[in-house]
Structure 1
Amino acid sequence: MALRWKKCRCGRPFGRWLRKKYLNGMLYSAERIQSAKWRLFLMQTWIFFIKIIGAICVMTGCGGAGLAMGVSWKRRYVQLGQMQRSLRMLHGEIRYTGAELPEAIDQIALRQEKPFSDFYHGLSEQMRRMDGQSLKTLWQTEIEKCLNNTYLTKEDKQIFLESGSQLGYLDRQMQLSSLEACMAQIEDNQNMIRKNMKEKQKLSVALGLLSGFFIIILLI
């Protein structure tokens, strides 16, 4: 009987230690699980905010690209107006002042804004050198040099090239007729842009935003 009591007395501290160890282990495991959940929550929160920031950047970029496309139509319209004014001045110099072509181009260069002021200044310098090249070649060289980084299309530049390709080879009346035909083509292009510009600007912005929306869907 005494022996059985002794075993019980010896086992009781061990049982308490075991229960304490078990409870401490459970508490430690619970703390680890809670810590892991908290880290996971923080990570998911950061990922969510990163996605939101990325979505804002994508939408802003795509919307800005669409807006830039719309703005390019307006700037093309403005540059076509500059082109037409320069040809009208050239037409006036030839018709009313009777000036020779080099002198007329010098006068136009002084009254133009960039990029056409650079074009006519360069053309004037090339004509003074008298290196044997045709006026059409000089005109084309200056177009490629001065109008390459503009909003003018290939068609616009071709019209402008045609306006200068006949100068110097025809009599005065035919030169005037050639300039008038080119100015009429430029005016047609301006009318087309003016008619469709607002619609195309809205469409460009809408397509840009829609593209950004689809990119966000693919990323998310």
Structure 2
Amino acid sequence: MLLIKLIGSALIITSTTLIGFCYGGKYTDRLNNLIYLEQCFKILETEIVYGANPLPEALSNVYKKGNKKVSFIFQEIKNHLQRSKKGNLYQSFSSIEWILKNRLNLKEEDIEIILSLGRVLGSSDRLDQEKNFNFIFKQMELLQKDAKIDRDRNERLYKNLGILSGIAILIILV
């Protein structure tokens, strides 16, 4: 009987700790994904402004050169753009909104910055595109600072909360 109680206690603490680590890890994932997205945007800027590549080719190159944790979204944008011949670039960017929110753990303000890039991309000459990219980079920097603050504040909280809730459940059950 004692062995069953020990195994049950270990399972409760382990499961609540894992849940806490999963919730806490979302904050680190958001920060890392924002950093990777900024790198992909820099590759896209190079492809469009300096390489003067057509947009589908530039998106494909970002997919190939960028970090695969986030660069797959550029392939999705390219595929959507090619499938919908009459669609515009903003519609292709908004088609990945669900992926950005659920798979990359981005917040609404992060997604809005990415969608704003879809609104302005390809709508002006190279000089204006460069200005738009610089504006996006400044906004991404602010989002990264915000994500770092959120991570520092909440990651430890959720990890400790997972462990402590497991101990509290054990105290209640025993």
- Please give the range of the TM-score, normalised by the shorter of the 2 chains: 0.7 to 0.9
Contact 2:21 2:158 in 1 (8 A): yes
In the alignment, structure 1 residue 182 sits paired with structure 2 residue 145: no
In the alignment, structure 1 residue 116 sits paired with structure 2 residue 70: yes
Cα deviation for residue 168 of structure 1 reads 2.2
1:59 to 1, 13, 35: 13
Contact 2:100 2:106 in 1 (8 A): no
- Larger Cα-atom Rg: 1
Contact 1:109 1:120 in 2 (8 A): yes
Residues 179 and 63 of structure 1, relative CA distance in 2, 3 Å threshold: same
Give the Cα–Cα distance (whole angstroms) in 1 for the partners of residues 100 and 144 of structure 2.
Answer: 21
Please tell me the residue identity of whatever aligns with 1:135: L
- Please report the RMSD computed on the Cα atoms of aligned residues, expressed in angstroms: 2.4
Which residue in 2 is equivalent to 1:215?
169
Cα deviation for residue 198 of structure 1 reads 4.2
In the alignment, structure 1 residue 202 sits paired with structure 2 residue 151: no
TM-score, length basis structure 2: 0.83
Task: List gaps (5 residues or longer) in structure 2.
Answer: none
Give the Cα–Cα distance (whole angstroms) in 2 for the partners of residues 83 and 207 of structure 1.
Answer: 30
Task: List gaps (5 residues or longer) in structure 1.
Answer: 1-45
Give the Cα–Cα distance (whole angstroms) in 1 for the partners of residues 5 and 126 of structure 2.
Answer: 67
Q: How does 1:17-28 map to 2 (within 5 A)?
A: none
Which residue in 1 is equivalent to 2:59?
105
Which residue in 1 is equivalent to 2:146?
192
Contact 1:77 1:190 in 2 (8 A): yes
Contact 1:136 1:164 in 2 (8 A): yes
Other structure's SS at 1:122 match: helix
Cα deviation for residue 88 of structure 1 reads 1.0
Give the Cα–Cα distance (whole angstroms) in 1 for the partners of residues 15 and 102 of structure 2.
Answer: 26
Which residue in 1 is equivalent to 2:40?
86
Residues 127 and 193 of structure 1, relative CA distance in 2, 3 Å threshold: closer
